[in-house]
Every structure is written in C-alpha cells, then in structure tokens.
Structure 1
Amino acid sequence: MALYNFKRIQPVPAANDFLDIVLSRTQRKTPTVIHKNYKIGRIRQFYMRKVKFTQDTFEEKLKAMLEEFPKLDDIHPFYADLMNVLYDKDHYKLALGQINTARHLIDQVAKEYVRLLKFGDSLYRCKQLKKAALGRMATIMKRQKDSLAYLEQVRQHLSRLPSIDPNTRTLLVCGYPNVGKSSFMNKVTRADVDVQPYAFTTKSLFVGHMDYKYLRWQVIDTPGILDHPLEQMNTIEMQSVTALAHLRACILFFMDLSEHCGYSVEDQIKLYHNIKPLFTNKPTFIIINKIDIVRPEDLPVEQQDMLKEIAEKDGAQIIQLSCFTDEGVMDARNTACEKLLTARVEVKLKGQKINDVINKLHLAEPQARDNVARPPIIPEEVKGRSLFNLNDPNRRKLERDLEAENGGPGVYSVDLNKLYIFKDPEWRYDSIPEIIDGRNVADFIDPDIQEKLDLLEREEERLETEGFYDSTEEIVDSEDEALRDLATEIREKKKFIIQAHRSKKMMKNRPILPRTVKTKSNKFFNLSLWRKWKKQLGKLGLDTSAVRARSLTRKRKRNDNDGDDSEQMDIDLPPNVLKSRRLGVSVSRDRSVAGLAVGQQKQTTKYRKFAQRRPNQFAKAGEADRSIQVKRPKHLFSKKSGIGKRDWR
C-alpha cells in the first residue's frame, strides 16, 4: 500500500559521532603495527592503506545517506510539495548538496595524499602525511555539522509522516476547522484520530483505511482551512492545499450548518468557492454534518438558495449525515466510493491504454442454430427474493437467521448433513454415509451374521469334544513340500556363490611377493638385473666377494659377529641403495638433498635454515597482529578501587 516508505532511512549521526564511527572502523579493519626497520615500500603501503580505507568508509556512509533521502525531482509531486511546505526544498537541497560536496572533497584529499605517500622517504614522513590526510578529512566533516543536524531532523519528521499512496482509491476530507471531519474518518475507517471541541485539533495529515467491494480504500483527514489568500496560509493549512492539489481523490467538503464550529454558513460557502479550482476533474460532494442539530430545510431561504446554486452550477452532490447519531454516514461513504469508481473508469476509457486492453478482449456472440426460444431459467424459490433485504417476507432464511433463532453463537450448531444429495433423503443422517451408488459398508453386512457365528462356535466345540484336533500327525501338502525343497536348494546355491566370491576376493588382495623386495619406485627386485650390476661393479675394480644372494622368502640370520662385518651387503636392499653404499654416498628421504654426499647435505641444510631466519622473524609478529602494548594500564590499576565502573576512558 505504501509507495514511499521513509521509515527505512537510516539515522544521520552528528559530525563528531560520524568521525568516531569512521576512524574507529579504520583502526579496527586495518593493520596497526609498523616498525622503522621495515622496507620503505612496505611502510608506504601501510599508511596508504590507512588513507584509502578511511576515504572508502566516508564514501560508503555519505553515498548511502544521499541515496536514502528522497530526491524531490524523482518522487510524486504530492510528496515533493509536501516536503517543500514542511522543510523548505531550498534548504533541503542545499543540505544534501553540501554532503555531496564534502564527499568529493574527501575523495580529492585522499587522492592527493596517496600520491604524496608514494614518495615518502621515511616512516616519520609517511606517518605525518597520513595524519594530515585524516585531519583534513575530519575538518571537512566537522564543517558539515549543521547540515547533518538538519538532515537528522528531516529524517525524524519524515519517519512520522503517514504512508500515503497517491495513485490508489482515496477519499479526501476537507473544510473549515471543527466541522466533524475527524469524527467522520473515525466512523468509516479503523483510524483513531483525536477529536476535540475546538479548532485545529488536527495539525497534520492523517490516513485511515477501509474496505469497500473487496477493495482497499484510504481516507485522508486534512487540517482545517481558513478563508484567506494562499500567501497568508500557515504550514498546517498548506498541507491540506497540497493534498487537494495533487491527489486524484473524491473530495468531501464538510459544512456545519449549526455554526457550532465558529464560522457562519456564508463563510463556509465562500471558502468552497475559493478552493473550488482545486476540485477540477474530481468528483465532489458537499457533506452537511450535524443534521441532528440543524437540517438544510431549517435554514433561511437565502442560505438554501446558495446551497442549491452550488449543486446546480458545479454539479456537486449534497449529502446529509450526522456523526453523532450515525445517520447517513455509511450511505455517504458508499455514494462517494461508487462515484469515484465510475470516475476512475471513465478516465481510463479516455486514455491510450484502453486500446491495448480492448485488443485483447473478444466478446463471443453465439449464433442461433434453430428457432427454439430459450429464456433464462430462474428457480421459483429464489425468483423475486433478495438475500440482503431483511424486510422481504419471501427472503430465504440464511444460516445467520437460523443461528439467531436457535440460541445465537456458541449454542447453535450448523447442520451440515441437510445439504447432502442422496437418492433417499433419509440416508443423510446415516451413521455411515454413502460411498458409491447409494450404498455404504453397512449395506454389505449380513443381517444373520450373529446366528451364523454362534453356529460355527458350536461346531468347533463339538469337534474339540470328539477329539478331532488331538491328532499329532502333520498334514503335509505336496505343493508345500515342493516349495520347501526349492527354497533349500536356493539357499545352498546362494551359500556356494558367496564362498566362491570370498575366495576370489581373498586371492586378489593377497600379496604375491614380500614387501621387503619392493623399491621406492614400486619396481620389484630382479635377480638377473642384480647379477649384471654385480658384474659391472667387478669391472670397476670393486670387491664383490662379500656380496651373496639368498632366498627372497627367507629372513637372514644374523650372528653376533655380523654387526662388525661392514663389507657384506643385504640382497633385500634395492640396487640404487647398494650402489650408494659402495660409492660412499648417503641416501636421504629429503628430495632437496637427494644425491648429495653427507657433507654436502649438512652444508645445504645450514644455508637453507639461514635463509629462512628472516621470514621466520616476520612470521612471528606482523603489522596485522593484535598486540597489547601496555599489559597493566595505569588508569585501571592505580589507586584504590571505588564503587562503580573503571572503564571511564
């Protein structure tokens, strides 16, 4: 319903609070530790990040503020003029323009100081540039103190404005103060507007909602208008004029003929003629209120003629009602709604969109296939009756009438079975209703079932007495026996299949060779290949007499003296290990030193640790790590503790 929801605008903080929010976020979201022994490029990046992040935060906050506040050129003219009346659009645009200018100035300051930071030659110089950048940004925001305060006041007032849809079905109530406008609105809507016996009780626009013909309607109660020039009207009256000028609504101009409002009938008629140009192309009604005191027939002839002239010349319909006795209130509402619906349809028919709608509609006209007359059939029981005319003696009784006759709500119980359509009306109240073809479960129950059951029980007692069930012989059917044999055969076959599968799976997972003969590259040891290696080692002048082969599946037995025999080699070792041991080369699992001698491995490891020392120092504490510089702050741990909080900082 609400086309413009100004309640979603975020609060605008004051200038000092704005700075605290932005700088606190910069401190929390960016690195906090820097040292002078860092490289100058790293120091520059540290402070450039601070400046850029602060500028981005200002940009984000200010841009969101500018987007949330409505732009007077983009919203409906009703809201644009209403904001001009309440806040002065020049001041409003000036405040938003100053905020936008501050945003651009902060961007320029950030770009300028980031450019200077690229050439900072020391930590002190970079720090001072950062400090100057943030200081200039803070100064720019402090100058916007008045604009921020003004926008916060506008936001608070906008959030209290009623949500008015300028394009929906609307009844607009207007007239002199204290003529009964708010009382009428309380009667026809769910609103609760303050009603007092003095003028200008309503000081702003109030909106109430109601339902008519399954449609949602809004009723707007406007403040009272006095009869003086437009330039002399105050802010309260200008709100009513703005609503009358811009809302496409049905105008209800209220008049008090009893003059209890404090204004004469002539003054009220004069006010109508003065604001009549605002009613152009809008359905208008003259609502005569307080007829329980004075009716139009009781007025002097001159005043009656003035009212008739309005009705004849301007085409305004005169409706009489009394909000005190509720006489004519709902009739006035219904008449105004019908008139507005008709006017809206006429406006749409005159527009250009109706052509597109008509092209999509097709009215089917059936062709007569014979000369037989087929008049509409209206049942006799409803012909000439009205369900809504309570005084009609032929009106059909409704459930509501039956409820009132039989004790009212909570006592009367609705008879749902009386509308069931059965072949036999007596079936409506069966304990088991019809299922199909006029039958239910009860129709298939044997009426002699109890006698047959008694007969069967007596027969069972006789068989037990004669010993018919005492025989222990098992009666075996030939079909059952064949079925059991088949089931046994299936179980045996299934068991055989499971055993074959398990044996096959066990052979597949079984290792063929011992794991000790596998090399690092997953190649199995080959005896013929080893003999070639042994022959080649002999040609190189190495002694291979101590090398002996043994069974691949048998473990080697070691004696006490075997540990001293350093010349013997084990056939279980892979060839590359054997060659390395012969040549005095150490084999390690570390690939970075693979293929190096022992001395070279130690030297490589030493250089690697030395090169890693500086990165390790940086990894222990970086500028993004949180650190508490003072473990026991003086303001928290000095002097005696008293009653109250200690976080006064």
Structure 2
Amino acid sequence: MVQYNFKKITVVPNGKDFIDIILSRTQRQTPTVVHKGYAISRLRQFYMRKVKYTQQNYHEKLSTIIDEFPRLDDIHPFYGDLLNVLYNKDHYKLALGQINTARNLIGKIAKDYVKLLKNSDSLYRYKSQKVAALGRMCTVIKKISTSLAYLEQIRQHMSRLPSIDPNTRTVLICGYPNVGKSSFINKITRADVDVQPYAFTTKSLFVGHTDYKYLRYQVIDTPGILDRPLEDRNIIEMCSITALVHLRAAVLFFLDISGSCGYSIAQQAALFHSIKSLLMNKPLIIVCNKTDLQPLEGISEEDMKLVMEMKSEAMKTVIGQGGEATNDEGVLLTMSTLTEGGVIAVKNAACERLLDQRVEVKMKSKKMTDCLNRFHVAVPKLRDQKERPPCIPAAVLEAAEKEKRKTERDMENENGGAGVYSASLKKNYLLANDEWKEDILPEILDGHNVYDFFDPDISLRLDELETEEGLGQAEEVDNDFELDGQELKPGQQEALAEIRKKKSLLIQQHRIKKSTAKSRPTVPRKFDKDRHFTSERMGRQLSKIGLDPTLAIERARSRSIFRRGRKRERLPDRRDADVMDMDVDTPNKKQRMRSLSQVRLLSLPPGEVVPGEGFKDSAQRIKAIKIAKKSVKNRNKDARRGEADRVIPNLKPKHLFSGKRSIGKIQRR
C-alpha cells in the first residue's frame, strides 16, 4: 500500500491571492456595520473580533501548508533523498521555515494590537489600530510571497511523481541509456513509457505493476546512468542512484551486447563495476538484451571474458545462508524485447529470486523466531525399514474411469484434432427413431428453396381458421341466449347467426382496444363521444335487425343496478369483527381508540402511536418526526441555487467591489 500520496497537498496561493482570500473571509464572516451610538465596550469588541478572526484565518491556512508538505527527516530515506535531488532540501526547509516564522509573527501582531484595543477609548483609535493590525499582517504575507510561489512549484512537481511504495516487492531496472529498459517494462506491465532510438528518453522514474505467483510486484524503470564520478552526474542520473541506494529490490542490470546503444560492452562493464557497491545484499541478474541483433555466443572472446567477470561479481553480491555464494542459475540471462524471446523468463527469475531473499530475511528476524516457537511439527517414527509407497486401489481407478464422461474435446483429440474432426450437432435430437438423426435435410426441392416454400392456399386456410376460432369463442362467451331445445324457425336462426357474428366482431374490437390501452390516453366518461357499448345503441341495432330490444335493455339495467348495490353494501371485515370485540372487551377508551386506529390509518393524529411502528409512546413519535424534518433542512438549504438553475450568477460580490475610499486611495481596501 502506498504510504506517500503527494497529490493530496492543498494548493498554495500566491501572496496577493492569499491576502484576498483572508480579508474577504473576514469581511463575510464578521459584522461589517458599526454606529456611533454603540457603547464603547461594544465598539471595542467589534474591532477586537476583526483582528482576532483575521489572525485565526492566517494561522489555519499557514498551518495547513506546513503540515501537509512532507518533513524530510520523517519520511522514508528514498523520498527524502529524491526530494533533495530534485529541489535541494536546504531551499525546501528554508521556505517552510519562512512560512512558520510568518505564522508566529502574525500571532504576535494580533496579540499586541488586541492589547492596544483593550486600552483605547475612542472609535477613531479603534479604527486606526484595526487598519494597522491588518496592514502589518498583509505586509508579512507579502514578504513571503516568493516562498509561497516556490512551494507551489514544488507541490505541482511532487503531484506528478510516481507513487512508489519503498517497502513492497520491487524489481529495479538499471543500465546505460538506450539498452532496452523502457521496452522491457512496457512488455511485462501495463505501463506506457516512451521508447525512442536515442539516449535519455526516460528522464524520471516510471512505475508499472506485474503479477507472479498471485503476488503483485512493482517494476521501476530508471533513467540511464553514465560511467563517471558521482559529483559529475546530473539530476536525471541521481534519480537512478537514489533508487538503487534506498530500495530493497531485485536489480536487473541491462547489457546491450549488440552495441547499437552507442556504448561498448567494455564501457557497460566499467559502469557495472563502479556501481556494484550499491548492489550488495540484493538479488542481481545480468540481462543480455538485443540478442536478435547479436547472439551471446557470437561476441568476441574479450567481451565474453568481461561478461563472465560480471557474472562472477553478481554471484558474490547476494550472500546465502552459511556465508556461501549463491548458485549461478538465473544470474546471466539473454532476451530480446523485439521478438519477446526470454522476456517472461527474465521476469520470473527476478521475481523468484526476490521472493526467496525476502523469505530468507524474514525467517532470520526475531519476530519469526517467536512465532516458530509456538509451532510443533509431528514427525512419525519408522516401525521398520519397509517402504510403503502410496497406492490407489484398482476398483477406485475403474470407478473414476466409468464416471469420467468423454467430452467433445476428448473426441476431437482422438480423431485428428481441430480442423479434422467436426462435432455432430444432430446427435442430441429427440426423434422417434435414432437412425433419422443423420438424415440429410433437403434444401432445394423442385427448383425452390424449402425454407422459402409458400402454400398458395395458405391465406384461405388462415381465414377459415380465424372464422372457426371466432365462432368457438362466441359460443363460449355467449351465455345470454338460452335455447330450450326446440328447433328455431329459419328467420330466427338467421337473426341468431347475425347476432352471434356481430357479437364476435365486438369481442375482437374489445380485445384490440384492450391490447392498446396502455398507449392511449385516458378520457373522462363525460367527454368520451365515441362510446360504443351503450344500452341505447344496443336498442337501435336490435331494432334494425327486427327484434324487440325492451327486455334486453331492462336486463342490462337490472344487472348494473345490482352491481352498484353490491358496491354500496360492504360485508363485515375481519378487522371490523376484531374492533367490535375490542369495543366490548376493553373498558379503556384509549385502547379502543388505538384499535380503531389500525383500521383508520389515514385519520391518525400526529402523536398517535400505531402498534408495530416501533415507538414507545407518542412523545417518542413526535420527537422522531421533528428529527426527520430537521435532518432535511440543511439539504434543502444547500439545494437552493445550483449551476443548472436559470439564473445569472453574481460574478462581482458587493463586499469586494464597493465601499468608501478615502482621497488618494486606489486599492479597494
């Protein structure tokens, strides 16, 4: 977890903005009007409050700056030296010291002028001393404006620094410029470091993250280092040296054996020997890069001798248990970032060696010794010298083979692999005869596509089917016509058929109307001029057919009256029965009112408690309602005006751009 997050440091305003922020806050947060008729104690309190409030605001802002910037003596040495390389810690401490001195000076000024205000006795002196106090405070801030500007530049640069955790698992890449360090980190992590064919493309530290054995590793790409004395190295090279000195990491020293970087193997070997003192007690791997241009076996004997010397030195850097040098496996590796050959092997070797070293160090610590004392590993004693290897019964193996279901992948491997074997999609068809599964389905029949075949009589058949369904539905729904078994006359049969046909048509229209009910607007009944199903309309239609509509209209009206009557009369509910029982059994009037409130929840008084709500009494319920209303008040206040409101914001606040000025004053204060 990253311990240092420099992006959270508050913005440092310059001197002029600092003064404007503090004075405008003082003007807004303290009373602004005083009259000559006030008592002298009230005038004194007014101006003392101005001075004290200004001093408090200055103290808070300056304290925030001092506390949020890191103290070089308290943070990790890696970040301490890195900040010293980038910004010069003397200048950094001097700027923070000036901020601290200004904070103390402002406190002394406020203390002195409050004492003067206590001993003054006129409105004129109060005004003069208040102006003098605020003026001296602003003068102190103006004097440290250069330090504020310097700290703001440092804050901006620190916010762009990478988030490096000095205590986590780390892989560090170093070497000469243009040997392939940035290409390697781009291959094994999701970092996007700029790669160019010239030296010093990377000018600062870059961080990426990779996974190995379900653990997260941070990979740091350092700028290139040249073989020269420490005092001659620039800031870019010193960033790499700082990381090598302070970070406990696995180091990958990149060696360009092709010479395309512009430096020979002898120069790179000299750099390795000059910085090997920084690599002690760290897992070190020498990576021979760009083998696509020049394989390791093809270099000259002198260069091979230098590489072998570097390998022997790398083996001596990490001392294993018992003071013996580590084995030479994985100390010298070859790879090519262009063809990606050996890239993963280099990453795995670095992570594995780092993990082994960290486990070994942890096992030697006192904390681990205390933990191991609590464990006891039981080792069974041998009864005899007979070997007893693990054995699985044959019955268990046979049962496992039977339970194992052959998958399509197994069948594919048995029958020639992908591209040769094609899985059958028809073998799971549910047919009456399994032999029909592999039948070939005809696609073209008589010159026509089978899937596009169209029956010329299909429309007639559909009409017949719809007619049959309509008649069947009409017979099911039609309960009004009760025939007593006597055969009807031909005229009556025609009238009955006409009525049933008309009824089926009305049913279809009603279903269509019902299916589109959600998309149609609701029209009040008195404005609905297109009402189709009314008794008058039914009477007119029956008269046209030649039937007497009187009985039908009377029957429909009697049904509607019966339905309305049933709506008016409500059967006794279970709750009513409970209430009646409660009225009889409970002598207390208050309990009867509570039982009635379960039925009439809408007519509750605000303090009435309903069983099941969780309130002890009415006072507790009233208190809960008040707290709920109070909690919403602040949110409602904050939501009065926002960016989305159609209002022109007040860009020129009155307290900043208006007020009396004496003769000769051009500043607004």
TM bucket normalised to smaller:
0.5 to 0.7
Distance (whole Å) between structure 2 residues aligned to residue 292 and residue 359 of structure 1 = 53
Say if 1:262 and 1:138 are closer, same or farther in 2 by CA, change over 3 A. same
Taking the TM superposition and a 5 Å limit, the aligned residue runs for 1:258-407 are 258-315=258-315, 317-365=331-379, 375-377=389-391
Taking the TM superposition and a 5 Å limit, the aligned residue runs for 1:6-25 are 6-25=6-25
In structure 2, the residue matched to 1:148 is 148
Residues 369-397 of structure 1: CA distance to partner in whole angstroms, max 9, x if unpaired?
999986435699999xxxxxxxxxxxx99
Residues 105-148 of structure 1: CA distance to partner in whole angstroms, max 9, x if unpaired?
00000111011111120111111111110000000000011100
Native 8 Å contact 2:175 2:254 kept in 1: yes
Residues 13-60 of structure 1: CA distance to partner in whole angstroms, max 9, x if unpaired?
000000111111111111111111111111111111111111110111
In structure 2, the residue matched to 1:89 is 89
Matched, 1:99 2:99: yes
> 1:286 is matched by which residue type in structure 2?
I
Say if 1:335 and 1:403 are closer, same or farther in 2 by CA, change over 3 A. farther
Distance (whole Å) between structure 2 residues aligned to residue 496 and residue 139 of structure 1 = 86
> 1:124 is matched by which residue type in structure 2?
Y
Say if 1:50 and 1:398 are closer, same or farther in 2 by CA, change over 3 A. farther
Structure 1 residue 178: deviation in Å?
A: 0.3
Distance (whole Å) between structure 2 residues aligned to residue 403 and residue 62 of structure 1 = 74
> 1:355 is matched by which residue type in structure 2?
T
Distance (whole Å) between structure 2 residues aligned to residue 53 and residue 5 of structure 1 = 32
In structure 2, the residue matched to 1:34 is 34
In structure 1, the residue matched to 2:213 is 213
Native 8 Å contact 1:253 1:287 kept in 2: yes
In structure 2, the residue matched to 1:498 is 583
Native 8 Å contact 1:190 1:208 kept in 2: yes
Distance (whole Å) between structure 2 residues aligned to residue 261 and residue 56 of structure 1 = 60
Distance (whole Å) between structure 2 residues aligned to residue 634 and residue 71 of structure 1 = 44
Structure 1 residue 364: deviation in Å?
A: 3.6
> 2:336 is matched by which residue type in structure 1?
S
> 2:377 is matched by which residue type in structure 1?
L
> 2:125 is matched by which residue type in structure 1?
R
Say if 1:27 and 1:291 are closer, same or farther in 2 by CA, change over 3 A. same
In structure 2, the residue matched to 1:611 is none
> 2:276 is matched by which residue type in structure 1?
K
In structure 1, the residue matched to 2:203 is 203
Q: Report the secondary structure of 2:119's partner residue.
A: coil
Native 8 Å contact 2:12 2:152 kept in 1: yes
> 2:224 is matched by which residue type in structure 1?
G
Say if 1:239 and 1:378 are closer, same or farther in 2 by CA, change over 3 A. farther
In structure 1, the residue matched to 2:530 is none
Structure 1 residue 240: deviation in Å?
A: 0.3
> 1:76 is matched by which residue type in structure 2?
H
Residues 70-101 of structure 1: CA distance to partner in whole angstroms, max 9, x if unpaired?
00000000000000000000000000000000
Distance (whole Å) between structure 1 residues aligned to residue 382 and residue 232 of structure 2 = 71
> 2:72 is matched by which residue type in structure 1?
L
Distance (whole Å) between structure 1 residues aligned to residue 577 and residue 360 of structure 2 = 90
Structure 1 residue 214: deviation in Å?
A: 0.6
Distance (whole Å) between structure 1 residues aligned to residue 578 and residue 152 of structure 2 = 88
Matched, 1:171 2:256: no
Structure 1 residue 149: deviation in Å?
A: 0.4
Distance (whole Å) between structure 2 residues aligned to residue 315 and residue 121 of structure 1 = 85
> 1:289 is matched by which residue type in structure 2?
N
Taking the TM superposition and a 5 Å limit, the aligned residue runs for 1:466-485 are none
In structure 1, the residue matched to 2:126 is 126
Say if 1:258 and 1:367 are closer, same or farther in 2 by CA, change over 3 A. closer
Native 8 Å contact 1:2 1:164 kept in 2: yes
Q: Report the secondary structure of 2:216's partner residue.
A: strand
Distance (whole Å) between structure 2 residues aligned to residue 226 and residue 493 of structure 1 = 96
Native 8 Å contact 2:162 2:205 kept in 1: yes
Structure 1 unmatched runs, 5+ = 384-395, 414-490, 510-627, 636-647
Superposed CA RMSD in Å reads: 3.7
Say if 1:37 and 1:379 are closer, same or farther in 2 by CA, change over 3 A. farther
Structure 1 residue 358: deviation in Å?
A: 1.2
Say if 1:133 and 1:291 are closer, same or farther in 2 by CA, change over 3 A. same
Structure 1 residue 315: deviation in Å?
A: 0.9
Say if 1:223 and 1:412 are closer, same or farther in 2 by CA, change over 3 A. farther
Q: Report the secondary structure of 1:315's partner residue.
A: helix
Distance (whole Å) between structure 2 residues aligned to residue 370 and residue 283 of structure 1 = 45
Distance (whole Å) between structure 1 residues aligned to residue 424 and residue 75 of structure 2 = 55
Structure 1 residue 305: deviation in Å?
A: 1.1
Say if 1:368 and 1:313 are closer, same or farther in 2 by CA, change over 3 A. closer
Structure 1 residue 303: deviation in Å?
A: 1.3
Structure 1 residue 103: deviation in Å?
A: 0.3
Native 8 Å contact 1:285 1:319 kept in 2: yes
Native 8 Å contact 2:287 2:335 kept in 1: yes
Distance (whole Å) between structure 1 residues aligned to residue 242 and residue 578 of structure 2 = 96
Q: Point out the more displaced range, 205-214 or 291-300.
A: 291-300
Distance (whole Å) between structure 2 residues aligned to residue 298 and residue 381 of structure 1 = 59
Native 8 Å contact 2:285 2:314 kept in 1: no
Structure 1 residue 347: deviation in Å?
A: 1.3
> 2:287 is matched by which residue type in structure 1?
I
Distance (whole Å) between structure 2 residues aligned to residue 113 and residue 347 of structure 1 = 62
In structure 2, the residue matched to 1:77 is 77
> 1:43 is matched by which residue type in structure 2?
L
Task: Report % sequence identity.
Answer: 59
In structure 2, the residue matched to 1:157 is 157
Structure 1 residue 193: deviation in Å?
A: 0.4
Q: Report the secondary structure of 2:12's partner residue.
A: coil
Say if 1:91 and 1:399 are closer, same or farther in 2 by CA, change over 3 A. farther
Matched, 1:222 2:222: yes
Q: Point out the more displaced range, 55-64 or 316-325.
A: 316-325
Native 8 Å contact 2:15 2:141 kept in 1: yes
> 2:293 is matched by which residue type in structure 1?
I
Native 8 Å contact 1:403 1:412 kept in 2: no
In structure 2, the residue matched to 1:58 is 58
Distance (whole Å) between structure 1 residues aligned to residue 51 and residue 78 of structure 2 = 43
> 1:320 is matched by which residue type in structure 2?
T
Q: Report the secondary structure of 2:182's partner residue.
A: helix
Q: Which has the higher contact order (CA 8 A, sep 6+)?
A: 1
> 2:132 is matched by which residue type in structure 1?
A
Distance (whole Å) between structure 2 residues aligned to residue 319 and residue 157 of structure 1 = 37
Distance (whole Å) between structure 2 residues aligned to residue 287 and residue 252 of structure 1 = 7
In structure 1, the residue matched to 2:572 is none
Q: Number of aligned residue pairs: give it.
A: 424
- Of the two, which has the highest radius of gyration? 1
Q: Report the secondary structure of 2:178's partner residue.
A: coil
Native 8 Å contact 1:406 1:412 kept in 2: no
> 2:372 is matched by which residue type in structure 1?
I
Structure 1 residue 366: deviation in Å?
A: 5.3
> 2:363 is matched by which residue type in structure 1?
L
Q: Report the secondary structure of 2:195's partner residue.
A: coil
